[in-house]
């Protein structure tokens, strides 16, 4: 006789094959439990390379790489959350940590592959050999769109690759890639030497090609998609979007408060939010201040404090700036990385990779802030209580943004739930 689990699994498979939405299989009671946050925007700060949780948000007793004694690399300090301590190089964030939530027990099973772990954290799913799943930025863009006409829903200030992309949702929900905070996306500008007259000749030729395609293939298909992309690009090249990149409009004291290039990107993220952009990813490890970024094998760990200090300054400035502008409750900040680092030191005094538990930080977003979720053991190697899966993290972000994490998107005709059975962290919702 089949078990109840077998029956439900078989029924679900038949329903999917028949095109019945999975959400319709859930009872009214289950649907009524869905959480709805009030955030309108998300700033996703990416610490590529694997930020060590013991050396930042989940400090333990101090270790010694020379003596091969496992533990944290730095001393810890008290914070605005009673009982929660962080690394000594995070003093600015420590003072305002009551605007934050620390998730200390995020975990997955990817350890030695940066690309696979990065894909897991961005898509919420394991790497697939048959399907490229959309990134969380693209899902937010598809579900929420933009607030203001003439700006993109999704801007990427970092490394453009498939893990950040729209996957099966298609290019409509991709990102606008930014390389220079001062001038905006280079692809939206004319090349040097392209005068108005020359541009007009190009458009005349393009119109002739369009007319020929329409005559032969009708008004649908590739030509229509191309026209839509051109129209969108022309809107983005307009003054409404491009003025957001003029950081000189900001007071000099504020710009100094944010710090260097990474800080300026965080300041630009705030301006993009004001302009109506929905999701912005900001990569931190741009300058490799310690020679290796967050991937602190061997002696890369010696100057890791420079990375932590730069993050501390920019992140605290962003939180306070949004708060001063009455935008923090409408903006969810997520500080994420692909995995953590173990308590043990390697032969060169640095650390390897550790995915069994690591820390992700949230701030603002209209959530119930000032909560530390989960506990790890005395070395930060194992979860003691309240594990948080990657799908749970994604479900929490989506709920904060008013997106149903059980909603379905479609890969062709195949329904795919937005999260891989993720459950939001209910303690964070007032």
Contact 97, 369 (CB under 8 A): no
Q: Please report the pLDDT score of residue 243 as a whole number.
A: 85
pTM, two decimals, is 0.86
CA–CA dist 167, 125 (Å, integer): 12
3-state secondary structure the chain: CCCHHHHHHHHHHHHHHCCCCHHHHCCHHHHHCCCCCCCCEEEEEECCCCCCHHHCCCCCCECECCCCECCECCCEEECCCCCCEEECCCHHHHHCHHHEEEEEEEECCCCCCHHHHHHHHHHCCCCCCCCCCCCHHHHHHHHHCCCCCCCCCEEEECCCCHHHCCHHHCHHHCCEECCCCCCCCHHHCCCCCCCHHHHHHHHHHHHHHHHHHHHHHCCCCHHHHHHHHHHHHHHHCCHHHHHHHCHHHCCHHHHHHHCCHHHHHHHHHHHHHHHCCCEEEEECCCCCCCCCCCCCCHHHHCCHHHHHHHHHHHHHHHHHHHHHCCCHHHEEEEEECCCECCCCCCCCCCCCCECCCEEEEEEECCCCCCEEECEECCCCCCEEECCEEHHHHHHHHHHHCCCCCCCEEEECCEEEECCCCCCCCHHHCC
CATH level 3 topology of 25-188+247-428: Alkaline Phosphatase, subunit A (3.40.720)
Mean pLDDT on 66-91: 97
Q: Please report the pLDDT score of residue 23 as a whole number.
A: 46
Mean pLDDT on 28-34: 50
CA–CA dist 215, 223 (Å, integer): 11
Q: Convert the pLDDT of each residue in 328-352 to its tens digit.
A: 999 999 999 999 999 999 999 999 9
Q: How far is CA 426 from the centre of its chain?
A: 20
The pLDDT-based confidence of 209 (bands split at 50, 70, 90) is confident
Q: Please report the pLDDT score of residue 39 as a whole number.
A: 97
Q: Convert the pLDDT of each residue in 144-167 to its tens digit.
A: 998 888 889 999 998 888 999 999
Q: Please report the pLDDT score of residue 190 as a whole number.
A: 58
Q: Please report the pLDDT score of residue 8 as a whole number.
A: 47
| pLDDT over 70 percentage in the chain | 84
Residue 373 to residues 155, 301, 384, 386, Cα–Cα distance (Å): 29, 27, 11, 7
All structural domains of the chain with their residue ranges: 25-188+247-428, 190-236
Q: Where on the phi/psi map is residue 51: left (φ > 0), alpha (ψ -120 to 50), or beta?
A: beta
Q: Where on the phi/psi map is residue 49: left (φ > 0), alpha (ψ -120 to 50), or beta?
A: left
Q: Convert the pLDDT of each residue in 295-341 to its tens digit.
A: 999 999 999 999 999 999 999 999 999 999 999 999 999 999 999 99
Q: Please report the pLDDT score of residue 290 as a whole number.
A: 78
């Amino acid at each position: 006789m089949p078990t109840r689990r077998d029956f439900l699994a078989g029924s679900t498979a038949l329903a999917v094959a028949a095109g019945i939405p999975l959400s319709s299989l859930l009872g009214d009671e289950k649907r009524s439990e869905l959480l709805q946050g009030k955030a309108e925007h998300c700033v996703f700060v990416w610490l590529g390379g694997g930020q060590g949780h013991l050396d930042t948000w989940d400090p333990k007793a101090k270790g010694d790489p020379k003596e091969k004694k496992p533990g944290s690399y730095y001393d810890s300090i008290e914070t605005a959350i009673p009982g929660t301590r962080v690394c000594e190089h995070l003093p600015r964030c420590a003072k305002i940590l009551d605007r934050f939530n620390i998730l200390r027990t995020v975990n997955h099973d990817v350890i030695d592959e940066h690309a696979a772990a990065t894909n897991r954290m961005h898509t919420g799913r394991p790497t697939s050999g048959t399907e490229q799943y959309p990134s969380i930025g693209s899902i937010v863009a598809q579900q929420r769109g933009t607030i203001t006409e003439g700006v993109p829903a999704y801007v990427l200030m970092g490394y453009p690759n498939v893990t950040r992309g729209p996957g099966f949702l298609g290019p409509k929900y991709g990102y606008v890639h930014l390389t220079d905070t001062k001038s905006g996306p280079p692809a939206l500008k004319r090349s040097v030497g392209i005068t108005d007259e020359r541009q007009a000749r190009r458009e005349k030729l393009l119109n002739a090609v369009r007319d020929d395609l329409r005559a032969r293939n009708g008004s649908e298909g590739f030509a229509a998609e191309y026209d839509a992309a051109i129209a969108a690009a022309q809107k983005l090249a307009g003054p409404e979007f491009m003025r957001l990149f003029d950081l000189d409009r900001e007071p000099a004291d504020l710009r100094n408060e944010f710090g260097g290039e990474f800080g300026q990107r965080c300041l630009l993220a705030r301006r993009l939010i004001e302009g109506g952009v929905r999701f912005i990813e900001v990569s931190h490890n741009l300058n490799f201040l310690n020679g290796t970024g967050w991937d602190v094998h061997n002696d890369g760990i010696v100057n890791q404090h420079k990375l932590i200090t730069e993050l501390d300054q920019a992140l605290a400035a962003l939180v306070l700036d949004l708060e001063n502008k009455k935008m923090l409750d409408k903006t969810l900040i997520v500080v994420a990385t692909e995995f953590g680092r173990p308590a043990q030191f390697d032969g060169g005094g640095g650390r390897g990779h550790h995915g069994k538990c690591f820390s992700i930080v949230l701030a603002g977003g209209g959530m119930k802030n000032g909560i530390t979720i989960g506990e790890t053991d005395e070395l930060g190697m194992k979860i003691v209580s309240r594990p948080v899966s990657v799908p749970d993290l994604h479900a929490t972000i989506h709920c904060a943004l008013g997106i149903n994490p059980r909603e379905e998107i479609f890969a062709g005709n195949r329904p795919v739930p937005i999260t891989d059975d993720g459950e939001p962290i209910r303690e964070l919702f007032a």
